[in-house]
Every structure is written in structure tokens, then in C-alpha cells.
Amino acid sequence: MAKRVSDGSVLRLLKAWLRAPSVEEDGETGHRKVLPNRGGTPQGGVIWLPAVGLFAPRCCASLLRCAASPLLANLYLNDLDHAVNEQCEQKPTMVRYADDLLILCKPGQGAGLPTRLQRWLEARKLKLNEEKTRLVDTRTEGIEFLGISVAWRQGLKSKRWYPHVEPSAKSQAKLRDKVRAVLEVRTRNQAAVAVLRKVNQITRGWAGAFHYGHSTHGFGQQQLFVRNRLRRWLWRKYSRTHGPFELFTDDRLTGQCKLWSWPLTAAWKR
């Protein structure tokens, strides 16, 4: 930061973030202990920014809360982006979010990249997570990155190989768990409108993040699960005698109940 920013107050604030200790709390006893920060930012650590001018009226000062680890990681690893994408002779492509990254290269050119990456990080007092770091041939093995699954597949009609991109099974399972947590026995005493609002917020947010690539099949399965879960929840909530599928049809769920409908067309086809 000091290479590009000359404002001493900003640099002092940055140093204060880096020197701030972390607090760990014992879940059983509730005892807290303060640990000194010997380097870097703690996982999930937060920073508070004074919000004035654009973010708040000048007559009052407020605070903006944001995660320290992704923000400072993006700043610190910015040079790594340029080192890989612009200066590497093998012309690989690095995709990075905070401290999670993928380096894509042509077949036969990836053997030396892990060693070079580790050398670059160690020179800047960073450690490479060796358990999560591996060399993968995507022609024979799929990969998962930030909830997205990527694998080479052969088209049924064209017989051409293409990179198939869809939400991973793990991310889809997490969504179903969130929906189950809302549509359960203990929420039947709540107003259906409020519960449906929560369900729509969860599904719309998840779909917005993963509506990319070949998401049609996965979205169709998720929509079927949400509808079946909701109609059983409504059926038990109101103690109806008719069958849940007969009483709460798909049209009624999306029309009268205002259940959000998933986009079942891949984003790249729109």
C-alpha cells in the first residue's frame, strides 16, 4: 500500500488492522482469551471503516463493517495476479478470489507451476496450503472452485468435448439444508407469508450466484425440491385432508403463494 498511497493516516490505519489481536471464545465455558497477532489477518476477521461523504451525511459519522481477510488478501496478492497472467513465459491464466486461486495452463505445462508458486509466496512470508494444492488434469478429473464444478464432457448430439460448468453437489446440498431449516416443524406456527419471504430470499440469492454455465439441470432439481418441501409444509400447517400435490399445485405455489420461480434457461443462452 505504501508504494501507491502516501496518506499517513491510511497507512497507520492499515498497520492497526494488521497488529490487532484476535479474540477466541470457548463455546462451553464462554471464557475469552486474547491472542496476539504475529502476522497476517485472522480468518474471518473484520475491519471497521469510517463512513463519511459518499456513505453518510457529513454531519454524522458511521461505520462500515467488512471482512478483513478477503480485502487485505486482494491487496497483498495483487502482484501475484500480474506475475502469473502477464509475466509468466508459459502464459497460464490465474483465476483468484481473495486467497483461493486456480492456475490454468495447457497440457504438459503445469509440472513446475506449484514449485514456482510456492517460491513466490515464501519470498513474501506466505505459506501454501499443501493439503488443498494439487495438480489436476481436467481432461480426466473434474475440479471444484467456489461452489462451481467444472469437468470435461462429450456432447450427446455433437460428440464434441466441452467444459461442463454447473453448481457443485456440495453447494446444492447446502442450499437444501438452508431450505429445510426454514420449512420445518418449528416454523409452522409462523405466518406463511413471512416464511415464504425467507425461502424466496435464500433461493433467489443462491440462484443469482450460480446462474452460470450449464445450470439448467441443477436448477430444475432444486426447484422441484423447494416446491415439494413447501407443499408438504403448507399441507401439515393447515391440516388439510386432500393430498398435498392435489391441493398445492405448482401453479398455486407460484401464483397464490408467490413462490419464486427458478430461471431454467442457462445464462449463456439468454
pLDDT digits (tens, 9 = 90+) for 182-224: 999 999 999 999 999 999 999 999 999 999 888 999 999 999 9
Q: Quick one: pLDDT at residue 148?
A: 92
* pLDDT 10s digits, 212-262: 888 999 999 999 999 999 999 999 999 887 888 888 999 999 999 999 999
| Integer angstrom CA distances of residue 3 from 42, 45, 75 | 24, 25, 12
For residue 183, the model assigns a pLDDT of 96
Give tens-digit pLDDT for 61-111: 444 455 556 777 788 888 888 888 888 777 888 888 888 889 988 888 888
57 pLDDT more than 80: no
| 121 CB burial (10 A radius; 0-12, 13-18, 19+) | middle
Residue 59 DSSP one-character state: T
Strands, E, within the chain: which ranges? 22-25, 32-35, 46-51, 62-67, 93-97, 100-104, 143-145, 148-154, 161-167
Percent of the chain with pLDDT strictly greater than 70? 88
User: For the residues 111-139, what does the mean pLDDT come to?
Assistant: 86
Which of 27 and 176 is assigned the larger pLDDT? 176
Per-residue model confidence (pLDDT) at position 69: 65
Q: Rounded to whole angstroms, what are the CA distances from 23 to 9, 26, 28, 71?
A: 25, 10, 15, 20
**How much is the pLDDT for 54?**
39
Sequence-separated contacts (24+) of 42-47 with Cβ below 8 Å: 42/68, 42/69, 43/69, 44/69, 45/20, 45/69, 47/17, 47/71
Q: Which residues touch 240 (CB under 8 Å, ≥6 apart)?
A: 247
- Rounded to whole angstroms, the Cα distance separating 185 from 136 reads 44
Q: For 131-258, list the strands marked E by DSSP.
A: 143-145, 148-154, 161-167
**Residue 114 — very low, low, confident or very high, per pLDDT cuts 50/70/90?**
confident
Asked whether the predicted pLDDT for residue 145 surpasses 50, the reply is: yes
Q: What is the mean pLDDT of residues 138-162?
A: 89
Global confidence as pTM = 0.75
